[in-house]
Amino acid sequence: MADAITAVFDTVAATAPDIRAGLSGRRSYGDTENPSGERQLAADEYADELLERRLLALDSVASYASEERAGVTESDGGTYHVACDPLDGSSNLRSNNAMGTIVGVYDEPLPASGRSLVASAFVLFGPITTMVTAREETATESVIEDGQRRAVTEDLRIPEDPTVYGFGGRVPDWSAAFTEFARDIEQTLKLRYGGAMIGDVNQVLTYGGLFAYPALDGAPDGKLRLQFEGNPIAFIVEAAGGRSSDGSRSLLDVPADGLHQRVPVHLGNETLVDRLEAALA
Ligand code: FBP
């Protein structure tokens, strides 16, 4: 299993410079929408095509699915089922802010429970390109140089003392219970919300705190997708000693009932997620 997962991680790392190099000329919206009804940037489609081709070329990969396409692409063999958000936070491209790639490696056909993840990773295009990977309950942060991973933090752990928070959605659309919880959090933590989940989650992994894209009035399942965003990032945060929740349980325990199902997402320090669940109960 380790060799197959290493091959997936290495392929994603090797593709990161190509995705990053292709961003500047692909900042315009095409006339297509993804299965979640969101407009697609040329960069979304470019990253998706690169990752599909290169990941399906691996013997160990049985299928590829992404946020950008309706169905699953099968290959003729392989063991693992890969779910990608090829360009998480792509709306940040026009404003030149953080974005990146999320990959989940499942050992069951998709859609699948987060408990069938065997590995996951995200690549973050910030001032430098970094990659956080998780497997066997351990998270690792690497710098990507010339498409190669160089580990800089072997056993990444979320800091004990939280200092930052970032909550998505419009404040008037938050539930009364979440609003009250947020007002309490605002008294002690510093706001860090940049509009790309992986950029905001990386702040939480670096400084400790809480990221949420909660249930909203009119969108009870929030915005983020379980297969491509919620599960893979929850797998990483929990491997780093944090917690995840849909509001009442780990995201990894949320039943998979659709490839593009949305889920309320809350990720960060265990104490804060516990407080959140108590506030929403
Ligand atoms: P995609 O860009 O992959 O659709 O990701 C959705 C996303 O950009 C998340 O990365 C981020 O957390 C959220 O949407 C931001 O939403 P909003 O623009 O409503 O704050």
- Over residues 208-256, the pLDDT tens digits come to 999 999 999 999 999 999 999 999 999 999 999 999 999 999 999 999 9
Q: Would the pLDDT of 1 be above 70?
A: no
d(CA 195, ligand 1 centre) in Å: 6
Closest ligand 1 atom, residue 198 Cα = 10
Pick the CATH number of 164-280 from 3.40.190.80, 3.30.70.890, 3.40.50.300, 3.40.190.10: 3.40.190.80
Mean pLDDT score across all residues of the chain? 96
Whole-structure pTM value? 0.96
Q: Whose CA is nearest to atom 15 of ligand 1?
A: 195
Closest ligand 1 atom, residue 36 Cα = 4
Q: Indicate the domain borders of the chain.
A: 2-153, 164-280
Q: Is 52 in the pocket of ligand 1 (CB under 6 A)?
A: no
- Is residue 267 within 8 A of residue 273, CB to CB? The reply is yes
Ligand 1 pocket mutation, candidates 34, 84, 88, criterion most atoms within 8 A of CB: 88
Domain 2-153: CATH superfamily is Fructose-1,6-Bisphosphatase, subunit A, domain 1 (3.30.540.10)
| Cα dihedral 101, 75, 134, 239 sign | positive
Closest ligand 1 atom, residue 195 Cα = 15
pLDDT confidence of residue 42:
87
| Cα dihedral 249, 124, 224, 65 sign | negative
- Is residue 64 within 8 A of residue 51, CB to CB? The reply is yes
